[in-house]
Amino acid sequence: MEITLGSHPGDKEDVPDFSLFEGHFRMIPSMTTPRYLHSVAMLPDGRVLLTGGTTFGFKIQSSAEIFDSETNSFTKTGSMNQKRWNHTATTLKDGRVLIVGGADGAKLEDY
């Protein structure tokens, strides 16, 4: 399990990450798209899915990306059908991620 500490969404600096298992801080790269008010879900293989949110200047996003702690990298992945922020992302037993609600989003999606 990892706790990631972010900074202002307009910042381009690396972000410190603290792993509860490793017991120390390490630097991770910036996300492919700066975002806040996004949702995060742990995937069954241990990677982390980040969806939607807003950028500096409040540009609502439909984009998604995956963080892989083994390679210490973010990779863009498919976008949601609708832009949304302040939504939920829940990993289901079958590995899909259910994305519900948020502003600018009333439809149900799964990834």
For residue 70, CA distances in Å to 14, 50, 76 come to 17, 16, 16
Residue 94 reports pLDDT greater than 90: yes
In percent, the amount of the chain with pLDDT more than 70 equals 71
pLDDT beyond 70 at 6 = no
User: Per-residue pLDDT averaged across 17-43, rounded?
Assistant: 79
Q: Check if the beta carbon of residue 84 is closer than 8 Å to that of residue 62.
A: yes
pLDDT above 70 for 108: no
More confident residue, 37 or 107: 37
Per the model's pLDDT, the better-predicted residue between 65 and 102 turns out to be: 65
Q: How far apart are CA 85 and CA 74, in angstroms?
A: 19
Contact 52, 40 (CB under 8 A): no
pTM for the model stands at: 0.74
